[in-house]
Amino acid sequence: MKIDQKTVKNIAHLARLELSEQEEVKMVEDLSKILNWMDQLKELDTTNVEPLTHMSEEVNVFREDVAKNELSREKGLKNAPSQNGEYFQVPKVIE
């Protein structure tokens, strides 16, 4: 696929981007390089290659999700602009 300045202008319009003349020229070059690289990838024989779901075999190790009450009510309400001892008080927004 050939990328020209008209195509870049159309893509920029669809993406709601405002590109200067120099940026459009640079974008034509960059998109052409990307498409040329994709054409090179098409030449590779991938018949015996299984698709990847992840780029590495690494597995994230997360801590166990245990609910804890680490903040007491008094500490939580300490810096509240308005509170009644048990809850935050906020201005009424629904009539």
Per-domain boundaries in the chain: 5-42
Q: What pLDDT sits at residue 73?
A: 87
| Per-residue pLDDT, 8 | 94
For domain 5-42, which CATH number applies: 2.60.40, 1.10.10, 3.10.620, 1.10.20?
1.10.20
In whole angstroms, give the CA distance from residue 86 to residue 76. Answer: 10
What residues in the chain have per-residue pLDDT under 50? none
pTM metric for this prediction: 0.50
Q: Determine contact, residues 3/31, Cβ cutoff 8 Å.
A: yes
Q: What is the pLDDT of residue 25?
A: 94
